[in-house]
């Protein structure tokens, strides 16, 4: 049986500890377990949440357990990828390079370690389905599982998903084709160049999922680059906000930014809203 640290509905699996640099930095893994405990004991559920905006979001979206039929395709793809024995050559421009030194990796191993879990990919699906952004950007396609959820959540809008590794992106593109997803545009290259190029051309940005290059400086650079494009309906989602000391510091700085109104800390991801009619407040929500 797999040992699992459990607390309420949330849990930490051994694979999660790997993703926390346990092998390269065991101290960081220990710190993150303490960060998790701190989060858990500070977190509120629906009933401890006084903001009507956040309460409704939790009730209608975050805690929505309906079995949407759109969940099936991406999960079939995840299973397929988890059994894909092909070796591919990796180009890694991100913080992942500090954890994985292998230049050749099995698709199955990437699927096991780098993709957002079903629980969070489905939450992203529900967020997009609820807010119906006019544009969607994902930094970090990897094998495209979350991209598939996002594209299915809002077929009327094209998801622009960005990835540095052409071989990983090629596997994702096969998956999009198998699912018949036509509302996905891919951009290959280092975000440091591709993201500013994309965002500079946009008048405004409604939804950005920041899920690659989990380093403090890089995360803040992408945040500040996108900040001039926010509007009343913008939602930024930051992945792995407690992955390292640097990411935890980046999350603190993002929360403190004067343009940010409401943040929701779900531990594995952080949601950032810019609605001017909301009081500036940071919520820590058990998920
Ligand atoms: C955690 S994975 C993304 C997972 C995906 N969003 C999902 O949930 O299925 C992060 C991806 O970002 C890519 N990446 C990291 N840093 C990058 C950078 N600076 N430029 C381009 N791609 C980068 C990596 O190659 C990796 O495939």
- Look at residue 48 in the predicted model and tell me its pLDDT: 86
The residue ranges of DSSP E strands in the chain, in sequence order, are 5-7, 10-12, 87-89, 104-106, 136-139, 159-163, 184-188, 207-210, 235-239, 262-265, 269-273, 281-284
The C-alpha atoms of residue 25 and residue 103 are separated, in whole angstroms, by 20
- Specify the ligand 1 atom closest to the Cα of 120: 8
Q: How far is the CA of 95 from the centre of ligand 1 (A)?
A: 9
**CA-closest residue to ligand 1 atom 8:** 116
Pocket of ligand 1 (CB under 6 A): 92-94, 96, 114-116, 138, 140, 142, 145-146, 163-165, 168, 190-192, 211-213
Name the closest-CA residue to atom 16, ligand 1.
94
DSSP per position, 160-177 = EEEES-HHHHHHHHHHHH
Structure confidence at residue 47 as a pLDDT band (50, 70, 90): confident
Choose which residue among 80, 112, 118, 142 to substitute to test ligand 1 binding: the one with the highest number of ligand atoms within 8 A of its C-beta: 142
Work out whether the CA dihedral 29, 31, 36, 40 comes out positive or negative. positive
Q: Which of 21, 114, 138, 219 to mutate to test ligand 1, by most ligand atoms within 8 A of the CB atom?
A: 114
Residues sharing a CB contact under 8 Å with residue 244, sequence separation 6 or more, in sequence order: 20, 21, 25, 28, 95, 214, 215, 216
Interval between CA 219 and ligand 1 midpoint (Å): 12
Mean pLDDT of the chain: 91
Which atom of ligand 1 has the smallest separation from the CA of 191? 20
Q: How far is the CA of 177 from the centre of ligand 1 (A)?
A: 20
Q: What is the pLDDT of residues 152-199, one digit of tens each?
A: 999 999 999 999 999 999 999 999 999 999 999 999 999 999 999 999
3-class secondary structure, 140? coil
Model confidence at 19: pLDDT above 90: no
Which tokens hold the place of 127? 């967020």
Question: Contact 162/191 with Cβ under 8 angstroms?
Answer: yes
pLDDT band at 98; cut points 50, 70, 90: low
Distance (angstroms) between ligand 1 centre and the Cα of 57 equals: 28
What's this model's pTM, rounded to 2 decimal places? 0.92
Nearest residue (CA) to ligand 1, atom 11: 140
Instruction: Report pLDDT for 29.
Output: 87
């Amino acid at each position: 049986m797999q040992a699992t640290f459990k607390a309420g509905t949330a849990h930490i699996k051994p694979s999660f500890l790997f993703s926390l640099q346990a092998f390269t930095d065991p101290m960081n893994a220990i710190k993150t377990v303490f960060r998790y405990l701190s989060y858990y004991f500070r977190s509120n559920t629906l009933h401890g949440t006084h903001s009507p905006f956040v309460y409704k979001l939790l009730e209608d979206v975050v805690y929505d357990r309906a079995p949407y039929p759109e969940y099936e395709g991406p999960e079939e793809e995840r299973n397929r990828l988890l059994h894909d024995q092909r070796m591919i050559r990796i180009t890694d421009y991100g913080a992942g390079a500090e954890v994985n030194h292998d230049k050749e990796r099995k698709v199955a191993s990437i699927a096991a370690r780098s993709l957002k879990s079903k629980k969070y990919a489905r939450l992203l699906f529900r967020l997009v389905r609820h807010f119906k952004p006019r544009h969607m950007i994902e930094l970090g396609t990897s094998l495209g599982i979350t991209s598939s959820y996002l594209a299915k959540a809002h077929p009327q809008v094209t998801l622009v998903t960005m990835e540095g590794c052409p071989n990983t992106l090629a596997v994702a593109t096969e998956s999009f084709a198998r699912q018949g997803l036509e509302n996905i545009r891919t951009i290959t290259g280092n975000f440091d160049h591709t993201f500013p190029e994309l965002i500079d051309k946009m008048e405004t940005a409604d939804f950005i999922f920041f899920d690659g290059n989990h380093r403090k400086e890089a995360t803040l650079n992408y945040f500040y680059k996108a900040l001039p494009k926010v509007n009343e309906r913008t939602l930024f989602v930051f992945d792995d906000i407690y992955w390292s000391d640097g990411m935890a510091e980046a999350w603190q700085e993002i929360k403190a930014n004067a343009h940010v109104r409401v943040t929701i800390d779900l531990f594995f991801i952080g949601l950032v809203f810019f609605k001017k009619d909301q009081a500036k407040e940071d919520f820590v929500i058990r998920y």
